[in-house]
Amino acid sequence: MRRMRNVKIVATLGPSSDDYDTIRRLFEVGADVFRLNMSHGSHDEIRERHTIIRQIERELGRPIAILADLQGPKLRVGVFAGDSEELVEGAAFRMDLDPTEGDSSRVCLPHPEIFKALRPGASLLVNDGKIRLRVEKCGEDFANCTVVTGGTISNRKGVNVPDVVLPVAALSDKDKADLEFVCELGVDWVALSFVQRPDDVLQTKELVNGRAAVLSKIEKPAAVEAYDDILAVSDGIMVARGDLGVELPVQAVPPIQKRLIRGARAAAKPVIVATQMLESMIESPMPTRAEVSDVANAIYEGADAVMLSAESAAGEYPLEAVRTMDAVAVEVEKGQMYRDIIEAARVVDRTSTADSIVAAAREIAENTGVKAICCFTHSGTTALKTARERPRVPILALTPFTATARRLCLSWGVNCFMTHGDVSRFKMAVVSAARAARQGQFADSDDNVVVVAGVPFNIPGSTNILRVAPCDERLIFNTDPE
């Protein structure tokens, strides 16, 4: 079951992948994290998928991460008398709070918070940006617009407002109910939609109260502008390219993606690249060459994980999509070009003892033939800092906490092991590391590993010791007087 790659694969579950056999096969062929999309499916369906994942986890003895993705507030137009209308470029069109059915000249937009934030010159995008309106005049209950890009507008199509920060909370009433449900259920990560400011994340973390890690989806221009502040209070990041590509010029998304990935890596926080990665595989068993290049580029950029959405949730070929993503990752990572790019982007940050210890561990491992870096971690910080270094050898994270092991499944190159028994003494920690390296087939008894830990144990963030140790326990006991 050892993965032959470092980047992780996130697979969304849905109608095509909601039974035991399919979910187990998805994990076996390469999925590391399962995403539960709260926009689709009842609580009973979500609970059943969660139960199946945990059953598979117990059977295989491998921690598996579960990510619950909150829907976020949905801004939509009202309805039309004829269900739809054609808007012509250059024509006038009005949006207002009048609930009567719309026509070719107006429609209800039942969101007074939008009107309060609008200003002349702002854009309103309808139906994933297919229709673009420019605001000419606006008040607290209306916006008179000019059609910049025409097309068909129909009942309850979504509206995006890219130019202003909306006074809308990231958590709707539905999101709050879903959040409490998944936290009680026991998910490992919660993905927060509609993030515009750091306060959105902080309010969510207050409700989560440590029961899960919070991942911020960067999908709005306001979030891109406030990225550094949002990153500082988030546990992880998702580059949600779908809405980014609607609210920003499409040509702006690739450089933004690179900047977001590099920032998250520098902060030692996992980052997922999502949306339309293998979109054609919803209906085809083979991806396009452009899609393969897209996945490869995200891996070259140093992403911790790449994500499948409808490909695995509703597509006809969920297993093939995971296999394809796995194959692309293996091929990319075995090339020298990948190492050159990853190492050129390494951030030199030696502001703490822990930073220096994990950097030294990477140097030793790469220059002395050591087979793996073994990190003892309670909160996950040591493993995250080691992953930031992007070493050439595997990272083994050993922890007594199931929640920590599961959350680390999202991080680049981290292989998680549960520790059992007494590891309060460093010698026994070294023994546990040697056993894990052998059992996981990362090393043989005549190999060495680097062991990184904090002494005394049980103090998060206290990484302060490094040792090169043999994988033969007899040598450990014969050479260590402890």
Catalytic residue positions? 35, 76, 217, 275
Residue 238 identity (one-letter amino acid): M
Taking the CA of residue 69 as centre, how many other CA atoms within 13 Å lie in the half-sphere pointing to its CB? 23
| Cβ count within 10 A of residue 42 | 8
Residue type, 180: E
Yes or no: say if 384 and 358 are a contact pair by the CB < 8 Å rule: no
Contact 261, 388 (CB under 8 A): no
Give burial (CB, 10 Å; 0-12/13-18/19+) of 154. Answer: middle
Q: Are 445 and 471 in contact (CB under 8 A)?
A: yes
DSSP 8-class letter at 276? S
Task: Please name every residue paired with 448 in a beta bridge, in sequence order, or none if there are none.
Answer: 470
Close Cβ partners of 238 (under 8 Å, ≥ 6 residues apart): 191, 215, 216, 217, 218, 271, 272, 274, 307
CA separation, residue 275 to residues 64, 280, 286, 438 (Å): 22, 12, 17, 37
Backbone angles phi and psi of 342, in degrees to 5: -60, -45
Residue 153, SS3? strand
User: How many other C-beta atoms are found inside a 10 Å radius of the C-beta of residue 369?
Assistant: 10
